[in-house]
A and B are shown apart, each in its own frame.
Chain A
């Protein structure tokens, strides 16, 4: 099977749909991974501060 990337007169709709999907899902992935990393760092910093106090 060969790829057909020429969407003809529907190119705006097809590529627009795939483009919006790519942007939205990439943003969701980035935001989710970033939130996880930030919260892990925040918790580790607090745990370290507690350790240092002892």
Chain B
């Protein structure tokens, strides 16, 4: 399957019909999730601020997942020279950066009324900020190197180095004491359902945007290849 989709033009052709379906499904699931988010009861301790959880937790989860996928793509690119690996990782980076940025901002907006401060340099918040900086560094590094092959190699190494941070983000609440709550959410179905639906919506959004962005990347590479061929002839 991976080899079958290694051809960029074939990949675009095969995934093109999926894009409108993913966009439509995302819109439907998002509306459902938002309805559940504002129809669910408020938390007995946190009041209405618990509704921030429905965007904060999916964003934080997606920030980790997307970086993990970038790491896998970078590994395939670096070791197996997969034709689409770098394009995939490059397409994912801005999406992951936005999700991680949103996790930081919504976390601050949730923490402010609950903890009395929007920020503390505790393990979870600091490692999440480091994750965001890895995304920014990846995007900046790719943009700053003109040679495509060299940019792909350098960025793949950077992405793989950043993988070390993922378990730190996940286990930080166990390893260090801080304001951030633990990984487990002890609550009822009325609060869990909107969370699950919003997590599903964020997955669909990622899948749709990833296919759009990788298609744009493939088009750009085809343009550059054609121009180079013309100037060679």
Chain A interface (Cβ < 8 Å from any Cβ of B): 1-5, 7-11, 13-14, 16-18, 20-21, 24-25, 28-29, 32-33, 35-36, 39-40, 42-43, 46-47, 50
Rank and list the top 6 A-B pairs by shortest CB-CB distance, nearest first: A1-B39, A36-B216, A39-B219, A17-B106, A7-B48, A17-B109
The residues of B that contact A18 with a CB separation of less than 8 Å are 55
Q: Write the B10-48 contact mask toward A (1 if CB under 8 angstroms, else 0).
A: 000000000000000000000000011011101000011
A17 touches B55 (CB 8 A): yes
The answer to whether A25 touches B47, judged by C-beta atoms less than 8 angstroms apart, is: no
Known contacts: A8-B47, A28-B209. The answer to whether A43 contacts B226 by CB under 8 A is yes
- Does B86 touch A at the CB level, under 8 Å? no
Taken residue by residue from 204 to 233, chain B's Cβ proximity to chain A (1 for < 8 Å, 0 otherwise) reads as: 010001001101100110110011001000
Return chain B residues, CB-CB under 8 Å to A16.
109
Of chain A, the residue at the smallest CB distance from B223 is: A43
**B residues neighboring A (CB under 8 Å):** 35-36, 38-40, 42, 47-49, 51-52, 55-56, 59, 94-95, 98, 101-102, 105-106, 109-110, 112-113, 205, 209, 212-213, 215-216, 219-220, 222-223, 226-227, 230
Interchain CB contact under 8 A, A3 and B215: no
- Alpha-carbon gap, A31 to B146, bound state (A): 22
User: Within the complex, which residue of A5, A20, A32, A42 is in contact with B209, where a contact is CB–CB below 8 Å?
Assistant: A32
Give 20 CB contacts A-B under 8 Å.
Answer: A3-B39, A10-B48, A10-B113, A11-B48, A13-B49, A13-B109, A13-B110, A14-B52, A17-B109, A18-B55, A20-B106, A20-B109, A21-B59, A28-B94, A35-B213, A36-B216, A39-B216, A42-B219, A47-B226, A50-B226
Within 8 Å CB of A11, what residues of B? 48
CB A52 to nearest CB in B, in angstroms, measures 13
Cα distance, A26 to B40, chains bound together (Å): 25
Q: Pick from A9, A13, A21: contact of B112, CB below 8 A.
A: A13
CB contacts (< 8 Å) of B55 on chain A: these are 17-18, 21
Separation in Å of the B205 CB from the closest CB of chain A?
7
Closest to B39 in A: A1
Distance between Cα atoms of A50 and B225 in the complex (Å):
13
Contacts known (A10-B113, A14-B52); A24 close to B101, Cβ less than 8 A:
yes
Contacts of B36 in A (CB 8 A): 1
Q: Which of A10, A20, A32 contacts B105 (CB 8 A)?
A: A20
Pick from A7, A17, A28, A42: contact of B110, CB under 8 Å: A17
> How distant is the Cα of A46 from the Cα of B221 in the complex, in angstroms?
13
Q: Is the CB of A28 within 8 A of B113?
A: no
